[in-house]
Structure 1
């Protein structure tokens, strides 16, 4: 799987960081802070790209993987209880404090175009969401929201699991809506301390995305 990205090397004091963004942010990718839950919507293209980013996070423990999505929610003007968020994935060994993100983000610059070659996530991989609830399981996500960004901090295993989840959404979401009109296809992500992330496939129709972006006010 070839993934076009932009590489950034911002500095904070003496420290230099690696930040990786997709070369093009998909139009139909939306993450909303909905008070008790985090709601996310992706069409097939966006879900496939996001699967690649989660796979990249699994193989890049020294990098922050940044998917800027807030611009996609701006047109819907969601209320204060459902505000658009960006997403950052980072390996727990990096020990990056989310409180430093706003300053680091301001220093990203234009970056450098690059293409990474990743093994595609296995769409048939079994996704064991219940295992992440086990107290003895160390492969769990840490979740923080800071500076309009959701930070998901985890291990390589958790990111591979997330990659498989988004690949599953891209593979089965379109078929579900086509075969069963009026239904929806979704998956869920959990963290040890934090809120459930509800991830729903949304077909690329103007009506669907208008509803997703404005549901906070309805």
Structure 2
């Protein structure tokens, strides 16, 4: 698969960093901080592209993969906050506290198209090994400057990337647009053996997006249906509505996050 990105480079003191960002905005993707867990809403294209960026994180241990998506949402009535997402390899040892400074130093970057393999099928993953006591191959999370940092190994990013093309494949058939939002989702769950110092992450397929600005939405519900991770009963359960995406006009008035992109496989 081919992935158009923008590559950015900047220095913090003597150390240089590469930041990789999607060439086109991920307009229909929202990541919300719901305190107990992290909740994402994606349409088909966003799921496919995030899956490719997830694989890029596996192949680019010296780069930060930045998904600037917090401008797509607003704070919900339940206090859920929209976040950006940065995927990075643990060996980079980047301090999230320096992200705001690095982000502010990123220029326009240079375009590049990367070629990526398909993610491995779930059947090819040794799920039992993840639950061994000696397993240290885990995701860790840090929150800083309205950005979630997800740190892991190349193996872990590669083996979990299948969730996104699977969601893009299953979603349209199970939850066609205008169908009342039957729930289709994927998760990084505490029982999966992939989370260390990290909260659960819930990714919902959302085919219908309400393009209304914040002022028009006051006192209204609607938009992508997202909510708590599924209970033991199964993944296909109704969700509560959460923060909505911003309209194109509202997004154009918001300050663009300073960000960047870079690093080949």
Quote the RMSD (CA, aligned, Å).
2.5
Q: Which runs of 5+ in 2 are unaligned?
A: 190-194, 212-221, 228-240, 245-265
Q: Aligned partners of 2:54, 2:100: CA distance in 1, in Å? A: 22
195, 200, 215: which one aligns with 1:196: 200
Q: Which runs of 5+ in 1 are unaligned?
A: none
Alignment partner of 1:143 is 2:137: no
User: For the Cα contact (< 8 Å) 2:204–2:226, is it kept in 1?
Assistant: no
Q: CA deviation at 1:119?
A: 1.1
Q: Aligned partners of 1:41, 1:211: CA distance in 2, in Å? A: 8
Q: Aligned partners of 2:225, 2:166: CA distance in 1, in Å? A: 23
Alignment partner of 1:206 is 2:204: no
Q: CA deviation at 1:45?
A: 0.0
Q: Which residue number in structure 1 is paired with residue 69 of structure 2?
A: 69
Q: Aligned partners of 2:76, 2:98: CA distance in 1, in Å? A: 26
Q: TM-score, normalised by structure 2?
A: 0.73
Map residues 147-158 of structure 1 onto 2, 5 A cutoff.
Answer: 147-158=145-156
Q: Aligned partners of 1:141, 1:205: CA distance in 2, in Å? A: 30
Q: CA deviation at 1:27?
A: 1.1
Q: CA deviation at 1:215?
A: 2.1
Output one character per residue of 1:132-157: Cα deviation in whole Å (capped at 9) or x when no partner: 45432121101111111111100111
- In the comparison of the two structures, how many residue pairs are matched? 214
- Higher helix fraction (1 or 2): 1
User: For the Cα contact (< 8 Å) 1:33–1:85, is it kept in 2?
Assistant: yes
Q: CA deviation at 1:211?
A: 5.1
Q: Aligned partners of 1:6, 1:13: CA distance in 2, in Å? A: 23
Q: Larger radius of gyration, structure 1 or 2?
A: 2
Q: CA deviation at 1:196?
A: 0.5
User: For the Cα contact (< 8 Å) 2:73–2:243, is it kept in 1?
Assistant: no
Q: Aligned partners of 1:215, 1:37: CA distance in 2, in Å? A: 13
